[in-house]
Amino acid sequence: MVSEQVPQVSHVLIVEDLQGRRSIPLEESHYSIGRHSSNSIVIYSKQISRRHATLILKKHSNPDKNSFFIIDGDGEGHQSHNGIFVNGKKSLFHELQDGDLINFGGDVNASYHVIASGISAPNPKEIVTLDSIATGMNGQLAQSRHNQATLRLSDTLPETSDGEDTILKPAHQDWLTGLSDRTLFNEHLSIALTNAREKQQQLAVIYLDLEHFETINNKFGYSVGDRLLKEFSKRLHDCLRAGDIVARWGGDEFTVLLRQIKTPDDPVRVSQRILNTLKAPFTIEKHQVYLRCHIGIAIYPQNGEDSATLIETAEHNLDDNKKQNNHGRRSPSAPPIDPKLLRVESLLRKALEREEFSLYYQPQVNINTGEIYGMEALIRWHHPKLGIIYPHQFLPWAEKTSLIVSINQWVLQTACRQNRAWQAAGLPRLPMSVNLSPRQFQQPNLTQIVAQVLDKAKLEPYWLELEITERAIVQNGNLARQLFHQLSQLGVPVAIDDFGTGYSAIGYLQEFPFNKLKIAQSCVNKLKDNPKKTGIISAAIALGRAFNLRVVAEGVETQQQLDLLRRLQCQEIQGYRFSKPLSDTEATQFLTQHWIVTK
């Protein structure tokens, strides 16, 4: 009789909140974390959400290699108000490692530890917190197992008479002006973006640069310059509403976060108030100094959906003002809004509310055997008056609004539920392909959304396949690398769609772990008129073999195209030549009949 393998390690979470520090052994596979008493781990702080975070055990064949994922929110799509930060970085989905430091977006900190059997749990008093890191204390640094710098608090912290550690305050304030610094501003912006996405609201980032400030330092001295920056900071702060954030970005540059705006004119009005405050001179040590500044504005979601893009856009618009010698503001949203876009947006919103969308499914088949290798989910809009509207007719409009994210999420949820329903009915298990729009792919919390959808549908990750275009990667390469890594950890494969339509596709095949390459329909269509022009398709098939990728040719409609692709040794096809897109009922019948035939 083989005995069950017993783990030789244990997992511990050490939490620091208003009731002090406590060690929590993690012995279950699922924990809810929040301030409500029904949570597995209750956090005592008003800054914590009722359901703030979720811990989920990641099982390994070797129990000693088990680990925990931490997810922002309740695991059902509802994120916390203040977010979670792992090792100082805002995280929506993170696999924890020994020594990781967790901050719950306020005054509550925690640390995660993996402890070998026979070794006692760390003393909570010796666990470094994010607050202590922020203070930059001169403690002894030691290297953990993962070469992460940790701080021995026992060597640096004075203790109160009752033996409890003194409270450390975070140092995310600019040393001169007392405003938020760059790090804290980015954290505020990240949280504000999460709230704006959930509530489908707008926000704005304003970037300011004082003109010729170096000349003032040279003429009057740095002490006058420093006092001038402090006085300007006070005036700037007084221009803002309660709840808005102002930060010193660095040197003579400042950033402002307007957490919620109703129209693109709101940040313009705030900018004008800032300019008006500069009309009066500053009096510093009997010197009267006049300041002027350049301003740039970026608005979510029109000008970007992540922190870096918004700040870069605002800075770019500021630079444009400098070139035009325009002392003021320039909002990239200034051009009039297309009234047709407003009408289409209203119709799309109603379509979501009235459930006018449906999914059709098109098989992807082996070109030689006819065996089905997968299905792709394709959206249709059933308008009550106009009838069926195809995706190429309305998705480009949806891309111009924030509704594209809601539509894509509906497609993802519906496709996963349908695939799980087919599996439950005993039909062949096939990967379901879902297209991601460039805007959805720019969501930093994409992996969390996918994980929650899969969990709710009870679908294993490898039965979902996400398709993205080259354009989606081009928009933000750094974010793409992060998302690919997270999706790979989750176990969800990714395919590159519309291959051969431009950009630097070969470079992306080398850099990103795709599992499938889909040749663009436009390339296949050209075979109708120019059957000899097979260069792009031949190259795509060769690249697929070189990178060990499945290759699918889209839009195959004629026998001529099929014969050419077969001669070129293309592996799979998708198109009307084999099957049109099928409704859920038709697809179920198709799979049932095909399974019986090939059984």
Q: Write the DSSP string, 65-105.
A: G-EEEEEESSSSS---SS-EEETTEEESEEE--TT-EEE-S
Burial pattern 86-111, b for ≥16 Cβ within 10 A else e, equals: beeebbbbbbbbbbbbbbbbbbbbbb
Please answer whether residues 547 and 506 qualify as being in contact, where contact means their C-beta atoms are separated by less than 8 angstroms: no
Domains: count for the chain: 3
Short-list 548, 541, 549, CA closest to 523:
541
Instruction: Say how far apart CA 4 and CA 16 lie, in whole Å.
Output: 35
Determine the average pLDDT of the residues in 148-171: 30
Whether the per-residue pLDDT at 397 is higher than 80: the answer is: yes
- The answer to whether residue 174 sits within a structural domain is no
Encoded tokens for 489: 């950890």
Whether the per-residue pLDDT at 143 is higher than 60: the answer is: no
Q: First-to-last CA distance in the chain?
A: 38
Between 62 and 143, whose confidence is greater? 62
Whether the per-residue pLDDT at 169 is higher than 60: the answer is: no
Determine the average pLDDT of the residues in 60-85: 82
Encoded tokens for 341: 């876009």
With bands split at pLDDT 50, 70 and 90, how would you rate the model's confidence at 506? low
Question: Is 394 found in the same domain as 535?
Answer: yes
- The answer to whether residue 544 sits within a structural domain is yes
- The answer to whether residue 333 sits within a structural domain is no
Whether the per-residue pLDDT at 125 is higher than 70: the answer is: no
Which CATH number characterizes residue 63's domain?
2.60.200.20
Which CATH number characterizes residue 211's domain?
3.30.70.270
Q: Which of 97-111, 153-167, 275-289 has the lowest mean pLDDT?
A: 153-167
* 293: DSSP letter: E
- Per-residue confidence (pLDDT) for residue 421, from 0 to 100: 95
Question: Is 579 found in the same domain as 434?
Answer: yes
Average pLDDT, the chain: 79
With bands split at pLDDT 50, 70 and 90, how would you rate the model's confidence at 323? low
Please answer whether residues 321 and 294 qualify as being in contact, where contact means their C-beta atoms are separated by less than 8 angstroms: yes
Count CB atoms within 10 A of the CB of residue 374: 21
Question: Is 147 found in the same domain as 39?
Answer: yes
Whether the per-residue pLDDT at 120 is higher than 70: the answer is: no
Question: Is 520 found in the same domain as 427?
Answer: yes
- Per-residue confidence (pLDDT) for residue 37, from 0 to 100: 83
Q: Which of 349-358, 420-429, 536-545 has the lowest mean pLDDT?
A: 536-545
**Residues facing 596 on adjacent strands:** none
Determine the average pLDDT of the residues in 367-392: 91
Between 401 and 573, whose confidence is greater? 573
Question: Is 388 found in the same domain as 309?
Answer: no
Instruction: Say how far apart CA 42 and CA 75 lie, in whole Å.
Output: 16
Determine the average pLDDT of the residues in 93-116: 83
Between 247 and 159, whose confidence is greater? 247
- Per-residue confidence (pLDDT) for residue 119, from 0 to 100: 47
Question: Is 416 found in the same domain as 283?
Answer: no
Count CB atoms within 10 A of the CB of residue 117: 10
Domain final residue pick, 155, 173, 202 = 155
Instruction: Say how far apart CA 51 and CA 34 lie, in whole Å.
Output: 5
Helix or strand (DSSP H, E) at 374: strand 372-383
Question: Is 361 found in the same domain as 236?
Answer: no
Determine the average pLDDT of the residues in 73-96: 81
Residue type for position 401: T
Q: Which of 25-34, 247-256, 359-368, 535-544 has the lowest mean pLDDT?
A: 535-544
Instruction: Say how far apart CA 13 and CA 25 lie, in whole Å.
Output: 6
- Per-residue confidence (pLDDT) for residue 127, from 0 to 100: 37
Question: Is 482 found in the same domain as 420?
Answer: yes
Domain final residue pick, 299, 323, 347 = 323
Greatest pairwise CA separation for the chain in angstroms: 94
- The answer to whether residue 16 sits within a structural domain is yes
- The answer to whether residue 349 sits within a structural domain is no
Q: What is the pTM of this model?
A: 0.48
Determine the average pLDDT of the residues in 201-205: 92
Encoded tokens for 467: 């398709």
Sequence-ordered alpha helix ranges (H) in 334-462: 339-353, 391-398, 403-424, 438-441, 446-457
- Per-residue confidence (pLDDT) for residue 455, from 0 to 100: 93
Between 14 and 342, whose confidence is greater? 14
Q: Tell me which residue range forms the domain holding 222.
A: 182-323
- Per-residue confidence (pLDDT) for residue 271, from 0 to 100: 87
- Per-residue confidence (pLDDT) for residue 163, from 0 to 100: 32
Whether the per-residue pLDDT at 466 is higher than 80: the answer is: yes
- The answer to whether residue 583 sits within a structural domain is yes
Determine the average pLDDT of the residues in 272-279: 84
Instruction: Say how far apart CA 213 and CA 232 lie, in whole Å.
Output: 12
Encoded tokens for 406: 């809601």
Which CATH number characterizes residue 381's domain?
3.20.20.450
Question: Is 143 found in the same domain as 282?
Answer: no
Between 505 and 501, whose confidence is greater? 501
Encoded tokens for 257: 């976060």
Domain final residue pick, 155, 190, 217 = 155
Question: Is 151 found in the same domain as 190?
Answer: no
Question: Is 301 found in the same domain as 190?
Answer: yes
Question: Is 448 found in the same domain as 389?
Answer: yes
- The answer to whether residue 347 sits within a structural domain is no
- Per-residue confidence (pLDDT) for residue 362, from 0 to 100: 95
| Span 546-557, pLDDT tens digits | 888 899 999 898
- The answer to whether residue 161 sits within a structural domain is no
